[in-house]
Chains A and B, each alone.
Chain A
Amino acid sequence: MIHSLFLVNASGDIFLEKHWKSVVSRSVCDYFFEALERATEPENVPPVIPTPHHYLINVLRHRIYFVAVIQSEVPPLFVIEFLHRVVDTFQDYFGVCTEAAIKDNVVVVYELLEEMLDNGFPLATESNILKELIKPPTILRTVVNTITGSTNVGEQLPTGQLSVVPWRRTGVKYTNNEAYFDVVEEIDAIIDKSGSTITAEIQGVIDACVKLTGMPDLTLSFMNPRLLDDVSFHPCVRFKRWEAERILSFIPPDGNFRLLSYHVSSQNLVAIPVYVKHNISFREGSSQGRFELTLGPKQTMGKAVESVLVSSQLPRGVLNANLNPSQGTYTFDPVTKLHINVATNCYWQLLSWDVGKINPQKLPSLKGSMSLQAGASKPDENPTINIQFKIQQLAISGLKVNRLDMYGEKYKPFKGIKYMTKAGKFQVRT
């Protein structure tokens, strides 16, 4: 099981360590640092690193490496999932998961880690239960504690932990009962240079914020549940009922949680909302190149495409670019050496263009010229263009919630459903 945890910051210092069994010397992290040094970019550190007596499994979140140490055969996914849970918990408790926040709350962090694992076995990882055991720090509570001398550790046995609904705490009370659901879809796509789609898929989630008194039992039904053939549920969802009736029936946890995530992969269901016209070329023997980009809406179901951000690594050897955007602003700093590749000792530069909203009547464009390093040969590779965008009030897969009902409680809650589509990893090859 999980032996120890080390938190390492971006500059490579261990700033927190926690051992659940015997103490493992922090020198074990040297193997991690070696791997870190070898990696060309911070995110390229291999997730599992063997050492003579231990295995190190790490995740990088919020510029902090969470390095878990294991000694015997433990499923790596189990460790990674647990580390994610640690990150989520910190974020939940402190609002942000940063080195400063963790250091500011080091005792709470320690108490939390102790509560989350016992001898390497997960103990309490549900945020609802943890919050009953250890109250999150708030300014008010800190003040109250100092005055009254009370503590932020719960005195009661966490009720939820042993009930049939371990994810929900009991005795929840609200004056305003409300339940909000956000259907958020991200499009991952690769578009080739001619504009045709190579792969496209939708990663969808339904995130909920439920603040309901007592033990509400909810059902959520969809207009077109057939879309959802590849789903992962929160443990609260009754799987049998879904199998039989395609209805989500559940007693929700209190507060924010992810009800389900789904995956739509069949390509004819995935609409591509934007298109890109591009022309990035270099003339043989000249140190100048042309750069032209035009964006336009494609299948948007009549909704506006907003918050568009285009970014691209320009080809190796490009020294500067003189571009003219029809709208928005672009940044391109010729001095910044991004992504230094140790092996080849050359660098690429990142162009990013904050477009804003796409106006179908006047398509946004970015045109101009690029100049190469003197004497550099014509670049071999073609840059890939990364696009981010948002479309409000639309689930691009067409998923629609039919109705939400509540049983088990008498009051009438306020209900709300919101849809949104975003670009995930949306890439256009040139």
Chain B
Amino acid sequence: MTDSKYFTTTKKGEIFELKAELNSDKKEKKKEAVKKVIASMTVGKDVSALFPDVVNCMQTDNLELKKLVYLYLMNYAKSQPDMAIMAVNTFVKDCEDPNPLIRALAVRTMGCIRVDKITEYLCEPLRKCLKDEDPYVRKTAAVCVAKLHDINAQLVEDQGFLDTLKDLISDSNPMVVANAVAALSEIAESHPNSNLLDLNPQTINKLLTALNECTEWGQIFILDCLANYTPRDDRESQSICERVTPRLSHANSAVVLSAVKVLMKFMEMLPKDLDYYGTLLKKLAPPLVTLLSAEPELQYVALRNINLIVQKRPEILKHEMKVFFVKYNDPIYVKLEKLDIMIRLASQANIAQVLAELKEYATEVDVDFVRKAVRAIGRCAIKVEQSAERCVSTLLDLIQTKVNYVVQEAIVVIKDIFRKYPNKYESVIATLCENLDSLDEPEARAAMIWIVGEYAERIDNADELLESFLEGFHDESTQVQLQLLTAIVKLFLKKPTETQELVQQVLSLATQDSDNPDLRDRGYIYWRLLSTDPVAAKEVVLAEKPLISEETDLIEPTLLEELICHIGTLASVYHKPPSAFVEGSRGVQHKRLPARAGSGESAESPDVGQSGPAEAPPAVIPSQGDLLGDLLNLDLAPPTATIPSVQPSMQMGAMDLLGGGLDSLMGDESDTLGGDIGGSPSMGAGLGAAPAAMPAALGSAPAVGGGLGDLFDLGGGVGMPTGAYVAPKTVWLPAMKAKGLEISGTFARRGGIIQMDLSLTNKAMSVMTDFAIQFNRNSFGLAPAGPLQVLTPLSPNQTIDVSLPLSTSGPVMKMEPLNNLQVAVKNNIDVFYFSCQYPLSLLFVEDGKMERQVFLATWKDIPNDNEAQFQIKDIHLNSDAASNKLQGSNIFTIAKRTVEGQDMLYQSVKLTNAIWVLAEMRIQTGNPNYTLSIKCRAPEVSQFVYQCYELVLKN
């Protein structure tokens, strides 16, 4: 006799049978049939074909049957809008029913039917229901306004429902008030600037009164709404706090947390010497502790919030350390959060207890958790100075266990402790060195090498130790290689006599045998430094490092303030401001992507050039004379080095490099130069070799990151058919301007690789050699991906064709025009400058085909102001031929529609820096003129995209 029987019929004639049953005369049979239909619906079967038959059952006195039909209607009305109209009459009639339950049910269901035609009929009944004598109907109607707003916001505003809703805040029934607040809050979320919830002391008073009497859910809505209010003075603030405090004893944890939010916020306004302030602080602790005895998922959300509260007001929970102790069968996500809070609460008073616990955790079975526990010990040492010694000895105990991952993790944190307390715990180095052989993780190896290098003068066999690492240099990860290079240079500077051979060995390994530009460049820098000015080298490499502090893992104060205002929300769980990740409730598809660092950001922003590397100067086109300086300085980040005395030598080194050994510093290597001087970005702040120049490293990091992304783009495109149009070569540098060297060239994209095809002609009398090329910063970060391959000397009257592969990972600066590229070419005679313009189609990547849905949404999402229209004249191609031709240049046709003899092609293009360009091309049969509409978030590219269209279509 159970409902599972409804699932049994899955045969082919099922729908047919149901249809017959639905039209049966027997009431009971009808009801059973509707139940079967609903059961099929719940498991995702399509029973929409039965729509008219089910709707026929709607006119009934049987409430259950009516509800079931309503359930069905809500699900399928969208797919059968015309049929759904048939139901309107019954709805309107039901809204007049003497039974308030039916009136409410009718208005509630109507609101759930997301069909425009129906919403028109909804307005009148809704207006009546909002003023119904029965509060049950009013509270249902309040929610219905929010539903209607979701379907048709304009209609709600035009009909004045918002005002009626605002009036309901003053309703005599608390449930109605709560629902009105909830509805208004939801509507307000899609109108961030509207003044819907206009809170004044009177409304606040009404809300507080309703708070005591409404359901737990209503309390959440009201509390969340209260949290948006700013009290006039501390007295009002206190009185609100007093009336909210009882909510802390509610059984519903969401009510408790919302109350905590209101209190945390309004507490800010209370004077700290007020007695009430102290009382309030005391009252906040117990409910937070209680949350931790709830189910694990509640605990998790609570812990994320407590993490914020502890950072803002550590005094609240300072005596509650023990509730954060980990139970072995807590889920891992609870364990990790507890651990984090334990460290935040650690102080001199409780550190002994905390350390004993952490040591216990380090013997648990869950490897991830054990690692975190060991790290936590290190963080305690850095946070509580008095405990550092005890932490170190705890770590040493752990190292004695010889459990491989524990030892490695311990060494990583001991390195941090050394950085916080230099020259204090070096006695343990001997113990660390014993474990050298067991280290197999790069981070631990790098940490150990750092320690050996840093304290080389105290370790007798430092050279032997480092030498042992050097044997397998090429098998190490980059992190370890870089660290090893730096450590050996440090060792050399400290003990120059015995280690000359070693340093030469590592420098040659790094510069000659390595393919890694970071490593190679750092090797060169050290080499130059050591050979030109050892004193300066000492100052740079052995510079005093800034101490690290525990603040590094605290949330930045302004963000913390914001998050405190969002306690209990998703923002508080992710520790990100809501603007960073929560989508608008109107179904906007790409309101904003999750915060990404560096170049990703700049690709999104409409202003392409200006948001490149942080130190990029405003876009001024350098004159010819300045260009050299600019090229030299590419990324040296002029004013950012913090030790003035170092700077000249660095500048000098760079000068020297470019003057004497330009050949060896080609292409992308020079791009990363700045980064490497400051310690490669990949090394992270903790291990930086020369922290003095750190800002430079930070500055160049985004460019490098962006470059990586682009390289992937390129990789993805390899193997695609090529059919892109390549313009014939034009003369870029006439011979008379360049002492006899003539350069003509063009650009091409072949199989995802951007190439610059050059013809170099020697029109002078003597042989030319030693060619090299560099680009100035440009709008899309184009840079040579390799050296200019002119292998044989260029004899007089000889022409040589070279193809130079380009990458888009160079530094970015907006140029005018956008596609301008300034180039410097050097040979044995002089350096020459010229500029040329590349077609934007160079940057159209192979995976530029957008999903249809995404296209539609994006098209809608881009403001109309960004749309640009162009005419392409005299094209004699039909739409398919045009679309094929464009595809060859990575302009992809997503959809084609034919309306009244007019073909509409919808197309998408993706640039190397991830900017999407959407286009609509209208082609009328017989008319050689095409109309092209281009939409892009960065409207300045539209014109250049149009140029590409024209180029491609006409050739």
* Interface set of A (CB-CB < 8 Å, partner B): 1, 14-23, 26, 40-41, 43-44, 46-48, 50, 53, 55, 57-59, 71-78, 80-82, 84, 100, 103-111, 114, 118-119, 121-122, 125-126, 139, 142-143, 146, 149, 151-157, 161-162, 164, 166, 188, 190, 192, 198-199, 201, 203, 229-235, 239-240, 243, 258, 260-261, 263, 265, 267, 313, 316, 341, 343-344, 348, 380-382, 384, 386, 425, 427, 429
On chain A, the residues within 8 Å of B246 by CB distance are 239-240, 243
Interface residues of B (CB under 8 A from A): 1-4, 6-7, 27-28, 31, 35, 38-39, 42-44, 62-65, 67-68, 71, 75, 78, 99-101, 108, 111-112, 114, 134-136, 140, 143-144, 146-147, 150, 173, 175, 179, 182-183, 186, 189, 213, 215-217, 220, 224, 246, 249-254, 256-258, 286-287, 289-290, 293, 295-298, 300-302, 320, 322-323, 325, 327-329, 331-333, 356-357, 360, 363-368, 401, 403, 568-571, 573-574, 578, 581-585, 587, 589
Among A46, A125, A149, A380, contact of B28 (Cβ-Cβ < 8 Å): A149
B297 and A59 contact, CB distance less than 8 A: yes
Asked if residues B27 and A263 are in contact (CB atoms below 8 Å), the reply is no
Shortest beta-carbon distance from A343 to chain B in Å: 6
* Cβ distance A414 to chain B, nearest Cβ, rounded Å: 27
**B583-A161 in contact (CB<8A):** no
**Known contacts A71-B585, A103-B3, A162-B136: A427-B328 contact under CB 8 Å:** yes
With A166-B215, A239-B246 known as contacts, the answer to whether A152 contacts B143 (CB < 8 A) is no
Q: Is the CB of A235 within 8 A of B251?
A: yes
Contact B143 A73 (CB under 8 A): no
C-alpha spacing A283/B215, complex, angstroms: 62
The answer on a CB contact under 8 Å between A162 and B175 is yes
User: Can you list 22 residue pairs at the A/B interface with Cβ under 8 Å?
Assistant: A23-B78, A44-B331, A47-B300, A71-B587, A73-B578, A75-B254, A75-B570, A80-B297, A80-B301, A81-B253, A81-B254, A107-B35, A107-B39, A111-B64, A119-B112, A121-B217, A143-B1, A146-B1, A152-B64, A232-B249, A260-B251, A425-B327
A313 close to B365 (CB less than 8 A): yes
CA distance A283 to B296 in the complex (A): 38
Q: When the two chains form the complex, which single residue of B27, B295, B333 contacts A84, counting CB atoms closer than 8 Å?
A: B295
Contact B42 A381 (CB under 8 A): no
Looking at the assembled complex, report how far the CB atom of A60 sits from the nearest CB atom of chain B, in whole angstroms: 8
Tell me the dominant secondary structure on chain A's binding face.
mixed
CB nearest neighbor in B for A124: B215
Query: Are the CB atoms of B251 and A234 closer together than 8 Å?
Result: yes
Q: How far is the CA of A238 from the CA of B947 in the complex (A)?
A: 75
Report chain A residues within 8 Å CB of B64. Answer: 111, 151-153
- Could you tell me if B583 and A107 are in contact, using CB atoms closer than 8 angstroms? no
> Would A162 and B71 count as touching, CB distance under 8 A?
no
State the Cβ distance, A399 to closest chain B Cβ, in Å. 16
Q: When chains A and B are docked, how far (Å) is the Cα of A108 from the Cα of B38?
A: 10
**Are B179 and A75 interface neighbours, CB within 8 A?**
no
Chain B residues contacting A20 (CB-CB under 8 Å) are 112
Q: Determine the residue in chain A with the shortest Cβ distance to B332.
A: A44
Note all chain B residues with C-beta closer than 8 A to A121.
143, 146, 179, 182-183, 217
Residues of chain B within 8 A (CB-CB) of A153 are 63-64, 67
Complex CA distance for A337 and B101, rounded to whole angstroms: 55
- Return chain A residues, CB-CB under 8 Å to B39: 106-107
A384 to B568, CA, bound (A): 34
- B-chain residues with CB within 8 Å of residue A239 when the two chains form the complex: 246, 249
Q: Which among B3, B28, B183 has the greatest number of chain A C-beta atoms within 10 A? A: B3
Taken together as a complex, chains A and B put the C-alpha atoms of A23 and B76 apart, in Å, by 10
Within the assembled complex, what's the spacing in Å between the Cα atoms of A77 and B296?
A: 12
Report how far A72 CA is from B588 CA in the complex, Å.
11
A417, chain B: closest CB distance, angstroms:
21
- In the complex, the chain B residue whose C-beta lies closest to that of A142 is B1
Q: Are B570 and A73 touching (Cβ within 8 A)?
A: yes
Decide: B68 and A107 in contact? CB cutoff 8 A.
yes
Q: Given A106-B7, A230-B287, list of 13 further CB < 8 A pairs?
A: A18-B42, A57-B297, A73-B578, A107-B39, A114-B71, A121-B143, A122-B217, A149-B27, A151-B62, A157-B136, A201-B293, A235-B216, A263-B290
In Å, the complex CA distance between A73 and B2 comes to 39
CB–CB A77/B254 < 8 A: yes
B4: A residues at CB distance < 8 A: 100, 103-104, 106
Nearest B residue to A379 via CB reads B365
Closest residue to A186 on the B side, CB-wise? B293
Are B589 and A157 in contact, with the CB atoms below 8 A?
A: no
CB neighbours of A381 from chain B (8 A): 363-365
Residues of A within 8 A of B328 (CB): 384, 427
A80 surroundings in chain B (CB, below 8 A): 253-254, 295, 297-298, 301
Q: Are A122 and B67 in contact (CB under 8 A)?
A: no
A380 touches B363 (CB 8 A): yes
A429 touches B301 (CB 8 A): no
Pairs A-B, 5 closest by C-beta atoms: A230-B286, A151-B64, A104-B2, A47-B297, A153-B64
Q: Which residues of A contact B581 (CB under 8 A)?
A: 50
Say whether B189 contacts A72, CB under 8 Å.
yes
Is A73's CB under 8 angstroms from B135's CB? no
Q: Which residues of B contact A15 (CB under 8 A)?
A: 43
- Select which of A16, A105, A157 is within 8 A of B2 by beta carbon: A105
Q: Which of A44, A75, A234 has the most CB of B within 10 A?
A: A75
Q: Which of A105, A143, A156 contacts B101 (CB 8 A)?
A: A156
Chain A nearest Cβ from B163, distance in angstroms = 20
What separation, in Å, do the CA atoms of A402 and B175 have in the docked complex? 36
A73 touches B569 (CB 8 A): yes
A198 contacts B325, C-beta separation under 8 Å: yes
Tell me whether A75 and B258 are in contact in the complex, defined as CB-CB below 8 angstroms, given that A151-B64, A343-B367 are known contacts. Answer: yes
User: In the complex the two chains form, what is the Cα distance from A384 to B78 in whole Å?
Assistant: 57
CB-defined contacts of B287 to chain A, threshold 8 Å: 230, 232
B122 to chain A, nearest CB (A): 13
Q: Are A199 and B108 in contact (CB under 8 A)?
A: no
How distant is the Cα of A106 from the Cα of B71 in the complex, in angstroms? Answer: 13
CB-CB under 8 A from B62, the residues of chain A are: 151
A231-B363 Cα distance, complex, nearest whole Å: 36
B320 to chain A: closest residue by CB: A265
Answer whether A108 and B3 are a contact pair too, CB < 8 Å, given A118-B140, A122-B217, A263-B290.
yes
CB distance from A105 to the nearest CB of B (A): 5
Q: In the complex the two chains form, what is the Cα distance from A348 to B328 in whole Å? A: 14
Chain B: CB-nearest residue to A239: B246
B578 touches A114 (CB 8 A): no
Q: Which residue on chain B has the smallest CB distance to residue A122? A: B217
CA distance A34 to B587 in the complex (A): 24
Query: Which residue in B35, B42, B75, B331 is a CB contact (below 8 Å) of A23?
Result: B75
Whether A261 contacts B254 in the complex (CB less than 8 A), given A151-B63, A232-B290, A380-B401, comes out as no
| Complex contacts, B43 vs chain A, CB 8 Å | 15-17
Cα A243 to Cα B247 with chains together (Å): 13
B339 to chain A, nearest CB (A): 15
Complex Cα spacing A198 to B355, Å:
13
Note all chain B residues with C-beta closer than 8 A to A188.
293, 327
Report Cα–Cα, A23/B79, bound state, in Å: 11
Q: Which residue of B lies closest to A70 (CB)?
A: B570
For B329, list chain A residues within 8 Å (CB): 386, 425, 427
Least CB distance, B265 to chain A, in whole angstroms: 15
Cross-chain contact A76 with B217 (CB below 8 angstroms): no
Cross-chain contact of B215 among A122, A142, A155 (Cβ < 8 A): A122
Contact partners of B111 in chain A: CB under 8 A:
119
Q: How far is the CB of A378 from chain B (nearest CB, A)?
A: 11
* Nearest CB of chain A from residue B640's CB, rounded to whole Å: 36
Is the pair A55, B570 in contact by a Cβ cutoff of 8 Å? yes
Chain B residues in 8 Å Cβ range of A53: 583, 589
| C-alpha spacing A390/B249, complex, angstroms | 28
Q: Are B42 and A106 in contact (CB-based, < 8 A)?
A: yes
**Chain B residues, Cβ within 8 Å of A162:** 135-136, 173, 175
Nearest A residue to B285, CB-CB: A230
Among the interface residues A76, A84, A313, A382, which one has the most CB atoms of the partner chain B within 10 A? A76
Contact assessment for A44 and B286 in the assembled complex, using a CB-CB cutoff below 8 Å: no
**A233-B327 in contact (CB<8A):** no
